[in-house]
Amino acid sequence: MKDYLSQLDPGNIPAHVAIIMDGNGRWAKKKSLPRLEGHRRGAEVVEAVADAAARVGIRYLSLFAFSTENWNRPREEVRGLWELLELFFQSHIRKIDEKGVRVLFSGVFKGIPSSTRKVIEETLGRTAKNNRITLNFCVNYGGRQEVLEGVNIWLKKRKEGELLTEKKMASLLWNPSLPDVDLMIRTSGEYRISNFMLWRLAYAELVFMNVLWPDFRASHLYRALYDYQKRERRFGGL
């Protein structure tokens, strides 16, 4: 692939990049391997992509790892995914911390096996003060749920006649310190949002790539950033 890294404008790096890591199952199928092997190889890609993101100065990287709709998959696959996630955090927690990465969790803890939840919580606590880059893991995440939960919390405390504003709504989302998404990347050649980051995607640039997630490399991220830098963001203005 062309060397896109050297062509990037360091003054125009998106602050928040969000990735829908899709295509693990199809990657496995192509190789006549079980779907879980695709997920395992997909998990192995995450570290290099996070390193590449930190290297070019991305401040926030959100990664879609499990959607609230993914419960509709066969029980064995779901169970395998939780085991894999648990293993991922167990084996990476030290390195993540040493690299100065802060980890956030966006999603619903309820439903996630308690051993998986425990290691996620441990990672959150251990990396809370790091600031090289923020990795926001979207796990058991649903964009509609995120907005609804915020609205419902607000409704309970609402004063008579008070109305929600955009600013207030943004502060009610999970991890309100996360800014709007500047660039959303989806792999695997599917052209949809699949309930990801609905509120924060409002003015994101969308890049869809025809690569299955386990084949995704730093060079693909640079390519997406290169495309992003060619876009003209108008935000409704001229």
**Minimum CB distance to ligand IPE, residue 230 (Å):** 26
Binding mask 170-189 for ligand IPE (x = CB under 6 A): ------------------x-
The nearer residue to Mg ion, 216 or 222, going by C-beta atoms, is 216
Q: CA-CA distance, 233 to 224, in Å (whole number)?
A: 15
- Choose, from 70, 130, 175, 195, the residue flagged as catalytic: 70
Two tokens, residue 17: 């990049």
The nearer residue to ligand IPE, 5 or 119, going by C-beta atoms, is 119
- Choose, from 3, 9, 12, 22, the residue flagged as catalytic: 22
Indicate the SS3 state at residue 197: coil
Is 210 a catalytic site residue? no
Through-space distance between the first and last CA atoms of the chain, rounded to whole angstroms: 34
Q: CA-CA distance, 128 to 37, in Å (whole number)?
A: 31
Stretch that binds ligand IPE, among 19-27, 83-91, 151-159, 172-180 (CB under 6 A): 19-27
Q: Which residues pair with 136 in a beta bridge?
A: 62, 104
Q: Does 22 bind Mg ion (CB under 5 A)?
A: yes
Would residue 197 be called left, alpha or beta, if left means φ above 0 and alpha means ψ between -120 and 50 degrees?
A: left
Two tokens, residue 180: 């709007």
The nearer residue to ligand IPE, 168 or 192, going by C-beta atoms, is 192
The nearer residue to ligand IPE, 13 or 28, going by C-beta atoms, is 28
Q: CA-CA distance, 199 to 165, in Å (whole number)?
A: 13
Residues labelled as active-site residues:
22, 70
Q: List residues near ligand IPE by CB under 6 A.
A: 20-26, 64-67, 70, 81, 188, 190, 192, 194
